[in-house]
Structure 1
Amino acid sequence: MQMESVLTCPTCGFSAREQMPLDACQFFYICKGCGEKLKPKAGDCCVFCSYGSEPCPPVQQHGKGPCCG
Structure 2
Amino acid sequence: MNAIILESTLTCPECGFSKQEIMPTDACWFFYECEHCKTLLRPLPGDCCVFCSYGTVKCPPIQEQRGCCTAAGCGSS
TM over 0.5: yes
Q: Which ranges in structure 1 are unaligned for 5 or more consecutive residues?
A: none
2:53 is aligned, of 50, 54, 59, to: 50
Q: Which string of whole-angstrom CA distances, capped at 9 and with x for unpartnered residues, describes residues 6-39 of structure 1?
A: 0000000000000101012110000011000000
TM-score using structure 1 length: 0.89
Structure number, greater radius of gyration:
2
Q: Show the 5 A alignment for 1:29-68.
A: 29-62=32-65, 65=67
Q: Which ranges in structure 2 are unaligned for 5 or more consecutive residues?
A: 70-77
1:8 aligns with 2:15: no
Q: CA RMSD in A?
A: 1.4
2:26 is aligned, of 23, 27, 34, to: 23
Q: Which moved more, 1:23-32 or 1:42-51?
A: 23-32
* Structure 2 CA distance for partners of 1:66 and 1:52, relative to 1, 3 Å: closer
Q: Which moved more, 1:19-28 or 1:4-13?
A: 19-28
TM-score using structure 2 length: 0.80
Q: d(CA) in 1 for partners of 2:68 and 2:27?
A: 13
Aligned residues: 66
